[in-house]
Amino acid sequence: MGSEERYHKTFSVSWEQIQRDCKALAWRLLDRKWERIIGIARGGLIPAAIIARELDIRLVDTVCVSSYTMKRQGELEILKQIDTSSKGEGWLIVDDLVDTGKTAKVVRDMFPEARFAAVYAKPEGRPYVDTYITEVSQDTWILFPWDAEPQYSDPISMRQK
């Protein structure tokens, strides 16, 4: 399904707003001392860095997953994972958004004892996260500041094709 059928609204998030929302998420995560934070790349990298700073988490890692862009919905592909011998006790998984929950389910299955937090959640994905800040409708495309110029812009590498 293309973006024209799936997304009917756009919710633009500024750098200032993502900073505020990540700090609000960090406040909700103060209930324990976290051993490690795992950002789901690429969208979860900036929220994970902000939250790691706010919660003084020094062990930061990534799981790299690719599933969709605004222009295409594809199959989920795990590009990089970390040692899965741990079930994730004391770990915090962070992503910018849980949309359909497809990525969250795969990462949650890797670390079933970790806590999963997202800055934004849509109804289909909400059951896969433990904590989030803002819910948006399923038909909303969230335009993050790292994807905008102030509207969606293809990465430079894609413009050369």
Please check whether residue 47 is in contact with residue 93, taking contact to mean a CB–CB distance below 8 angstroms: no
Could you say which of 96, 130, 139, 147 is catalytic?
Answer: 96
Active site residue 96: yes
CA-to-CA distance for 159 and 63, rounded, in angstroms?
A: 27
Active site residue 95: yes
Q: What's the Cα-to-Cα distance from 19 to each of 22, 60, 90, 100, 145, rounded to whole Å? A: 5, 18, 24, 24, 11
Which residues on neighbouring strands pair with residue 94, listed in sequence order? 39, 117
Please check whether residue 72 is in contact with residue 4, taking contact to mean a CB–CB distance below 8 angstroms: no
DSSP state of 151: S
Q: What's the Cα-to-Cα distance from 132 to each of 29, 72, 153, rounded to whole Å? A: 10, 25, 27
Active site residue 83: no
Could you say which of 21, 31, 61, 95 is catalytic?
Answer: 95
Question: What is the CB neighbour count within 10 angstroms for residue 43?
Answer: 23
Could you say which of 99, 130, 147, 154 is catalytic?
Answer: 99
Give the residue numbers annotated as catalytic, written as ranges.
95-96, 99
